[in-house]
Amino acid sequence: MKFFSKISFIFLALCIVLSACTEGFEDLNLDPNRPKDVTPGVLLGQMQYRFVNASMQASRSFTHELMQVDAPRASTSGQGLHRYVVNPGAGVWTSFYTLMRDVEDIISISDGLKENNYKAIALVYKSWGYSILTDLYGDVPYSQAVKAEDGIFEARFDAQKDIYLQILKDLETANGLFDDSKVLTYGGDQVYNSSVLTSGKNVGIQRWKKFANSLRLRLLLRISNRDGEVNVTEQIKAILADPAKNPVFVANADEAIFRYPGTFPYFNPYYNARTLDWREGTYFTEFFINKLNADKDPRRAVWATTVAVNGVQVYQGIKSGYPTTTEYVVGRNSSYLDALKTLPQLGVMMTYAEVEFIKAELALKGFNTGKTAKVHYNTAIGASMVQWGATLPADFLTQPGVLYDETQSMDKQLEQIMLQKYIAYFFVDYQSWFEKRRTGYPILPRGTGIPAENMFPSRVPYPTYLQSQNAANLNAAVAKMGGDNSNIKVWWAQ
């Protein structure tokens, strides 16, 4: 008995010692650098960086090949976007829907904190992101998306029309929420500097408001074929008629660009790209580079490498949609300049040049923009030059091929606007493809290696993994749209 008493005493003493040693253990192991509460500022910066990375890389890997900005050096399989073969795509779908959880969190947290500027910024991102998703695929999950916390694990697909109506409402709501007399209390904004007041005003918030309304103009023009079904004309006129209430971009300083600081962790995603992946496996096309050559476009020096031809350094491209037997020699044609891999302004969401091209088209179609289509067209080209750090030559806008010809038919004038808009869309997600689908411009040459049955694509097929993760709702959406291939036209293009 004495033995067991001693054992019990030792055990009790040990427990007391251990208890004393761990008293306050939880306090000692708290990370002093970790925020106790998640604020919208904590989420915002990382979200902005990841969003633009996904969209910018999609431009390089998808849009540039499909829209004949570039083409692969060799393509023996018969596949490829330059031959109008579009496979089911999951890249932007996965990235954007993952980030939409952050967007919804910012909205929810901002409501609780009564931080309307954060909420408005999140609504702009929500609208921008979903506009890209629905223009890519058509009907997509929206009203029930990213609601796993509410027990919704298989979201239904909303009709594109309904998505557009809500996007436009959200942008109008954001426009009313922005308050330029306040700073972003918790910081975090890496697109505009919205954490300081200048003479009592927040210039960054003013620019966010301009982005919201500029995006509204983009999307209203996108669905202009559905005017009447949606009050497109009325909304466009309301924006143009009251620039104080509905400001849009009026200078390059306004444009929505995530400017990569080049410091950890916010590097341009191509920073460490291998030479093979960056430029030796891909060349600019004749269609793209020859137009720049004909115009002596100074943006060539920012975008493209030169090659020696008969001892002279020139910009030279390849054909797109070429036969499968064709293989271009390494280093013999122009490709992406290495300087682009560290260029801060590559993170484009929307530019001042685009807004001026939008106004050029609207003026051409009879809207009162305050200026002629020609003036907007010229301003847009100049704005694109400034955006890329190029100098506009004195005779650039008056030379044949660039000079805006107001004597031509409306359709020919539109074609001229859209060709220059296409060039200015360099590295802007999928927008040149969306606009090609809307207007038919620019007119792309059809390579001899494109099979006759391959039509220019109208959408991206849904990601294949949805067949196992959300089959019932996917099948309902496919049935409603009339199929799940790249030839199905989305609502606004019908």
Instruction: pLDDT tens for the chain, 494 residues: list them.
Output: 444 444 444 444 444 444 444 454 444 444 444 445 789 999 999 999 999 999 999 999 999 999 999 999 999 999 999 999 999 988 899 999 999 999 999 999 999 999 999 999 999 999 999 999 999 999 999 999 999 999 999 999 999 999 999 999 999 999 999 999 999 999 999 999 899 999 999 999 999 999 999 999 999 999 999 999 999 999 999 999 999 999 999 999 999 999 999 998 999 999 999 999 999 999 999 999 999 999 999 999 999 999 999 999 999 999 999 999 999 999 999 999 999 999 999 999 999 999 999 999 999 999 999 999 999 999 999 999 999 999 999 999 999 999 999 999 999 999 999 999 999 999 999 999 999 999 999 999 999 999 999 999 999 999 999 999 999 999 999 999 999 999 999 999 99
The H helix count followed by the E strand count for the chain is: 18, 8
Core vs surface per residue 145-159: b (16+ CB within 10 A) or e: bbeeeeeeeebbbbb
Residue 111 corresponds to which tokens in the numbers above? 């409501």
CA–CA distance, 346 with 388 (Å, rounded to integer)? 9
Tell me the C-alpha distance between 441 and 439, whole Å.
Answer: 5
Asked if 96 contacts 470 with a C-beta cutoff of 8 angstroms, the reply is no
pLDDT of residue 28: 44
487: helix, coil or strand?
Answer: coil
pTM of the model: 0.92
Q: What's the angle, vertex CA 211, arms to CA 206 and CA 212, rounded to 5?
A: 100
- Provide the residue type at 349 as one letter: M
How much is the pLDDT for 26? 46
Please name the amino acid found at residue 306: T
- Torsion angle of C-alpha atoms 425, 387, 133, 218, degrees rounded to 10: -80
pLDDT of res. 90: 85
Give one DSSP letter per residue of 227-268, joined into a string: BTTB-HHHHHHHHHH-TTTS----SGGGSEEE---SSTT---
d(CA 20, CA 12): 12
